[in-house]
Chain A
Amino acid sequence: MRSSLLRWIGSTALLAVVMVGCDDPDGPDECTDRDADTATMDAATPEEDAGTEPDAGSALESPFEAITVLTFDAAGTLYVADSGDGRIHALTPPDATNPTAGTSYNLRDIDATLAALLGTTPSDLRVRDLAVHPTTSEAYIAIARPVGDALVSAIAVVNQAGEARLLETASSTSVTLPFAPADDFRFYNDFPSRDLSITDLTIYDGRLYVAGMSNADFASTLWTVPLPFDGEATVTTVEIYHGVHGQTETRAPIRTMTITEIDGEPTIIAAYTCTPLVTFPVSAIVDGAHVTGRTIAELGYGNTPGDMEVFDVTDMTGSTTSVMFLQNLNQGAQVIPLQAIAAADEGPGINTFLGLTRVDLGAFDTPMSGMVQLADQDPRRLLAIRRDAVEGDLELVSYLKGAYFRLSDFQSEYEVPDYVYPPEQDPTRQFQNMMKVEEGQEEFVVE
C-alpha cells in the first residue's frame, strides 16, 4: 500500500508541475525552461549603468546626449543642437514618403505613443523640440527618457496617421559643427559643469545662427557659421546686449529668434531673457562685435516667450498679411503684423516711460495657450504639442493660421443637434464645416 501511495503522490506531483507551470500567477511571467534563479536577475547597479555612456554591446548607440533644438532647412537637412556636448549635427534623414502629407494632425495621447516607442511610460518621457519636415510634413520630435542616471535623447518621426518610428541616425549622413569657442575650456579646472544650453537655431541665407544661454555666467553670445559646413569655416561670435532707453544696457541671452526682411533689410527679431522683443540687423553680426538690440515691444511682465515664427496669413477676404507669431509659456500666443514691427523698428525704439502700459504694437491675443512646442507646419497650418488641460496628456494637433483655435476645443450653441443655421450664418457654417473636417470630425458636418 505504501508504494502505491508514493506512486500516487509522485504522479500527482508530476502532473501538478506540468499543469501549473513555472509562472507566478500574480505577476509577470518569467517562465522559461531554465530554473528560477536566472529569472531573478539584478538590474544593472548604478555603477554599471553608465550614465551617458552606454555599455558596449548595447543597442543604445544614440549619438545625442541632450538635444535642445531641432530645425530644418528648406532642402530637408535637419540641424540638431546637442547641449550635452555643445555640438550641432546636420543630418540628412533617409528618404521617406508620407501618404498623409498635406493633412492636419489630430493626435491625442502622443505622449503614450512616444513613450511606448521608447519602452517607457509617459511620466518618464521628455519632449524637447518639434520641427516639421519641409517636404514630407512628418513631425520630428526630440524626446528623452531616463536610462540609469542620465536622460538620453532620440528623435521620433510621426505622421498624421499617428505612425511613429525612431529616426535612424546611422543611415543619415551627419556633420558636426564644434561651434563652441575653444577658449571656453582654457580655464577649465576639472570642475564638472556643462556651460551652455543652446536655445535656438535659425538658418538664413546660407548661414546658421546659434543662440545659447549659460548656466554659469550671464555672458550672452550669438554664433554664426556658413553652410554647408566644410570643416574650414570660422565661427563668428558676437556679444549680445539689451539696451534700455538709450541709457543702460545689459548682457542678454536670446531665448528665441527669427530672421526676416524688414523694409528690405535682413533683421533679427529676438526675444531676450529680460524683455520680449528687440531687433538688430544681420549686418551687425561681425566677428567680435558687441551688438545692442533695439527694444521695440515690451509685452509686460508675466509674458514669457517660447517659440517665434514668421509667416503669411490669408484671411477670408483673400488679403495676405505677413505676421510674427510669438508663442508664450503661460498665456495665449500673440500675433503681430510685421508691418507694425517694421514701423517700430524705424523709430528709436522704446526709450521713455510714457506710462506703464504695454507697448505691444497692436498684438492680437490668440487663445492658443498651454503649448509645449510649436512649429510652422505648412502654408495653412501651425503644428503644436500641447498638454490637455483636463487629462494631462500631450496632443499633437494642427491649428489653422488666421483662426488660431480649434473648434473641437469649445462647446458652443452651434453644436446642439437641432441648431439651425440661419442663411446669414452660411459663411460661418461653411467655415465651421471646414474646421470639423480638419479636426477629424467629419461626422458633425452640417450641410
Chain B
Amino acid sequence: MPGATRRTWLVSVAATFVLASVGLSARLRADPSIGSGTRELHRCGHVRVDPAALPRWVELAADEAEVEVRVAGASTPVAGSMAAEASAPTRRFEPVFPFTPGLVYVVRAGDCERRFSVPSEPPPEPVVRAVYPRSETIPENILRFYIYFSEPMADGDFLSHLRLEDVDTGEELTGVFFENIYELWSQDRRRITVLVDPGRVKTGLQAHRRWGRAFTAGHTYRLHVLPTWRSVRGATLREEYTATYRAVAEDRRRVDVGAWQLRPPASGSLEPLIVDFLEPVDHVSVHRMLSVVGASGERVEGRWQLERGERVARFAPRAPWSRDASEHALRADGRFEDIAGNNLGASFDHAIGEVRAEGEDRIVRRRFSVIRNGESNERE
C-alpha cells in the first residue's frame, strides 16, 4: 500500500476504534443488564435470541450448558421446557404460558445476559354495553344486577369499581352488594352478576332488621360503574357509566306462569310468540329457563328478545311455524326468576312449606296454538 493511503487507513482505523470504544464504554455504563460488580459482564455476542416464534417460544443460541429465561428483575426462572435444536448450540425454550406482550425477558447464560420482548399494541378500551335490569324502576327487594362489557374483564375487587348513591339524599350507599371472592362472571368474561346482599333482602335477618333493605320505595338511586375497571388485557374503561332507578314496592309473589299473557303467532309465519310476564323478569332466565316445543315435543329453534323493562319477550323462530294449528307449549324451568329472585316454586322469602314439591312442577307448561288464517288473534 502506498504510504499516504496506508497512513489514511491507519488513522481511520484508529479513529474508529476511539469512537467505538467511547461509545462502547458509554453503553457499558448505561446498560442495566451489565453489572458493575467485581466481575465485568461481557457483551454477549455469542448469546443470541431469535424472536421469530414469539410469543410461543424463543430460540436461543449459547455455548453454556446452563441457560435460563426470566422476567427482567425476577429471581425465579420462567416455567417451561428447554429442548436442543438440530443445530446446537441452538435450543428452544417454550414457556408454559406464552410470553407476555410488553414485558422484558432476560436470557442468562453464564455471565451473559440478553433481553427480548414481544411488542405489544395498546389494548382496546372497554366500555359498558348495558346494565340490567334495564327498567326505570326496581322493587325494593331486587336481588341482582348484571353489567355487560364490550371486552373480557379482569377480576379482583369488583366492588371497588362500583358506587351506589341515593340521588335524593346524595349519600353513598355501602354494604349493599354481596362481597364474594368468587366473582360471578360469564364464561366469556363480558358479563358480571352483582348480587344484592341476600342478608339485607331477606326478611328476618339481623342485617335486614338493623340496616333494612338497601333500597327504599320512592327513592331514586344511581349505580356508577367506575372507569378504574380493567379488561383482561389491562385497559381501563373508556368512561364511567351510570344507571338510574326509582325504587318501588317490594315484590314477594311467586312467579305464576299461568298468569302470563301469550300472544300466539300465525301459522306458517315467522312472527314472534309474544309473552307478557306482567312484571320485570330476570333476562338471563328468559334465555336459559324458557323453551318452546312443538306438538310432538320437539324443540322449536329461535331467538328470544326482551323489551326494555324486561316485562315482555318475543320469541322469533328460526323456521316458519307449522302450517296447521298444532299445539305448542312454552316450557319454563322452575328456576325461572323475576328480578326479585322469586321463582316458579316459591317467592324468594317464603313461609316454610310453601315450596312446591319436586317433580312435575319443576317444568311448567303453557300450551298455545298457532293461529290459522281467519281465526281471531285473541290472547290466550
Any B CB within 8 A of the CB of A108: no
Q: In the bound complex, do residue B12 and residue A217 qualify as a contact, i.e. CB atoms below 8 Å apart?
A: no
Any A CB within 8 A of the CB of B368: no
Interface size class of B (residues with CB under 8 A): 35 or more
Q: In the bound complex, do residue B116 and residue A28 qualify as a contact, i.e. CB atoms below 8 Å apart?
A: yes
A400: B residues at CB distance < 8 A: none
Residue among A41, A164, A217 with max Cβ neighbours from chain B (10 Å): A217
Interface of A is mostly: loop
B144: A residues at CB distance < 8 A: 218
Any A CB within 8 A of the CB of B96: yes
> Which of A96-104, A222-230, A298-306, A436-444 interfaces with chain B?
A298-306
Interface residues contributed by chain A, number (CB under 8 Å): 110
Q: In the bound complex, do residue A218 and residue B94 qualify as a contact, i.e. CB atoms below 8 Å apart?
A: no
> Which of A11-19, A172-180, A391-399 interfaces with chain B?
A11-19
Any B CB within 8 A of the CB of A116: yes
Q: What's the nearest-Cβ distance from chain B to residue A361, in Å?
A: 15
Q: In the bound complex, do residue A199 and residue B155 qualify as a contact, i.e. CB atoms below 8 Å apart?
A: no
> Which of B53-61, B258-266, B369-377 interfaces with chain A?
B53-61
Q: Which of A254-300 contact B (CB under 8 A)?
A: 255, 273-275, 288, 290, 292, 298, 300
Q: What's the nearest-Cβ distance from chain A to residue B13, in Å?
A: 7
Q: In the bound complex, do residue A147 and residue B54 qualify as a contact, i.e. CB atoms below 8 Å apart?
A: no
> Which of A87-95, A185-193, A415-423 interfaces with chain B?
A185-193
A116: B residues at CB distance < 8 A: 70-71, 74-78
Any A CB within 8 A of the CB of B249: no
Q: What's the nearest-Cβ distance from chain A to residue B343, in Å?
A: 7
Q: In the bound complex, do residue B52 and residue A41 qualify as a contact, i.e. CB atoms below 8 Å apart?
A: yes
> Which of B173-181, B215-223, B240-248, B272-280 interfaces with chain A?
B173-181
- Known contacts A12-B12, A119-B97, A150-B189, A248 near B51 by CB under 8 Å: no
Any A CB within 8 A of the CB of B118: yes
A120: B residues at CB distance < 8 A: 71, 97, 100, 103
A197: B residues at CB distance < 8 A: 182, 184
In angstroms, Cα B1 to Cα A8, docked, is: 14
Q: In the bound complex, do residue B71 and residue A290 qualify as a contact, i.e. CB atoms below 8 Å apart?
A: no
Among candidates B52, B156, B211, residue contacting A301 with C-beta atoms closer than 8 Å: B211
In angstroms, Cα B10 to Cα A7, docked, is: 11
Q: In the bound complex, do residue B12 and residue A11 qualify as a contact, i.e. CB atoms below 8 Å apart?
A: yes
Among candidates A33, A151, A164, A166, residue contacting B48 with C-beta atoms closer than 8 Å: A33
Any A CB within 8 A of the CB of B188: yes
> Which of B162-170, B321-329, B346-354 interfaces with chain A?
B346-354
Q: In the bound complex, do residue B285 and residue A216 qualify as a contact, i.e. CB atoms below 8 Å apart?
A: yes
Q: In the bound complex, do residue A121 and residue B103 qualify as a contact, i.e. CB atoms below 8 Å apart?
A: yes
- Give A contacts to B, CB under 8 Å: 4-5, 7-8, 11-12, 15-16, 19-21, 25, 27-34, 38-44, 46, 51-52, 55, 57-60, 62, 68, 83-84, 112-113, 115-121, 124, 126, 145-152, 154, 164-166, 186-189, 191-195, 197, 199, 213-219, 241-252, 255, 273-275, 288, 290, 292, 298, 300-302, 304, 306, 329-330, 353, 356, 358
15 extra interface residue pairs, beta carbon distance < 8 Å, beyond A41-B52, A117-B79, A192-B186: A4-B5, A19-B20, A28-B117, A29-B114, A29-B116, A30-B49, A41-B118, A41-B119, A117-B76, A119-B98, A188-B288, A215-B185, A216-B288, A248-B351, A329-B179
**20 pairs, CB–CB < 8 Å, chain A vs chain B:** A20-B23, A30-B49, A116-B75, A119-B71, A146-B232, A147-B97, A147-B98, A149-B233, A193-B284, A215-B186, A216-B193, A217-B337, A247-B351, A248-B351, A249-B352, A250-B349, A274-B202, A290-B358, A356-B206, A356-B209
- Give B contacts to A, CB under 8 Å: 4-5, 8-9, 11-13, 15-17, 19-20, 23-24, 27, 30-31, 43, 45, 48-52, 54-57, 70-71, 74-81, 94-101, 103-105, 114-121, 124, 143-144, 151-152, 154-156, 175, 178-182, 184-189, 191, 193, 195, 197-199, 202-207, 209-211, 232-234, 282, 284-285, 287-291, 304, 331, 333, 335-337, 341, 343, 348-352, 355, 358
Nearest 10 interchain pairs by C-beta: A215-B184, A116-B74, A194-B187, A19-B20, A191-B287, A28-B115, A116-B76, A301-B207, A244-B204, A274-B198
